[in-house]
Amino acid sequence: ETGVTQTPRHLVMGMTNKKSLKCEQHLGHNAMYWYKQSAKKPLELMFVYNFKEQTENNSVPSRFSPECPNSSHLFLHLHTLQPEDSALYLCASSQGQSSNQPQHFGDGTRLSIL
Amino acid sequence: AQTVTQSQPEMSVQEAETVTLSCTYDTSESDYYLFWYKQPPSRQMILVIRQEAYKQQNATENRFSVNFQKAAKSFSLKISDSQLGDAAMYFCAYKGSNYQLIWGAGTKLIIKP
């Protein structure tokens, strides 16, 4: 079992659907992250939570809504998505946000918008 | 703003040979961290090696080592004795005072048997 688990692994949805991505970390970390990975582009940081408090929102459209109920769980609620939102969504966690702490990643959710 | 550039979209190497992946970055900070991550087809991003900018000694992890040139803002990854399992996308990343990882676009490494 990996330290960071993401479900579902694949998700296909229409533009009018509402769905949620789930991330759970078993590493005792207190910081969690959502990234968007599109083909041939650098990873884009979307949201950061530190001790359940959102510390970063990198100009992400409101159709993406994060939720962090505790330090081990992170959700990304999706609604009214656009075709350009199709990508791999990666969750990561780390022991704090300080510079020397590496981030540990899940396997990602491959999202396809019809 | 900081940027990270990986100029090689794809590299190939013969199994058991050595390959070097390049990474350059731009920053005005003096204290920061640099990372190399590997992403195999399984999609999980795995930390390969990290370097602290204040350390002059190049980091080494078994067959993986870096050539850190702070003045040139260069951070290349050398993989010795390449193995089939090394085939993956390799990403260089920078982490500075704002604690956010800045990523390069990646290099696809192909291992020829």
Residues 6+ apart with CB under 8 A from B9: A40, B105, B106, B107, B108
* SS3 per residue for chain A: CCCEEEECCEEEECCCCEEEEEEEECCCCCEEEEEEECCCCCCEEEEEEECCEEEEECCCCCCEEEEEEECCEEEEEEECCCHHHCEEEEEEEECCCCCCCCCEECCCEEEEEC
Q: Which of B43, B46, B102, B108 has the most A C-beta neighbours within 10 Å, making it the best mutation to test the interface with A?
A: B43
Measured between beta carbons, the chain A residues lying within 8 angstroms of B35 are 102
Closest by CA position to B91, among listed B17, B21, B1:
B21
CA distance A100 to chain B (A): 7
Contact call for A43 and B9, based on CB within 8 A: no
Contact call for A100 and B52, based on CB within 8 A: yes
Q: Which of B44, B47, B90 has the most A C-beta neighbours within 10 Å, making it the best mutation to test the interface with A?
A: B44
Contact call for A43 and B99, based on CB within 8 A: no
Summarised one tens digit per residue, pLDDT across range A49-90 is 988 788 877 789 999 999 999 999 999 999 999 999 999 999
How far apart are alpha carbons B56 and B88 in whole angstroms?
28
Summarised one tens digit per residue, pLDDT across range B30-66 is 999 999 999 998 888 999 999 999 998 999 999 999 9
How confident is the model at residue A2, as a pLDDT?
Answer: 65
> CB distance from B26 to chain A under 8 Å?
no
- Mean pLDDT within A94-112: 88
User: Under DSSP, is residue B84 helix (H, G, I), strand (E, B) or coil?
Assistant: helix
> CB distance from A83 to chain B under 8 Å?
no
Above 60 in pLDDT, residue A31?
A: yes
> CB distance from A76 to chain B under 8 Å?
no
Above 80 in pLDDT, residue A100?
A: no
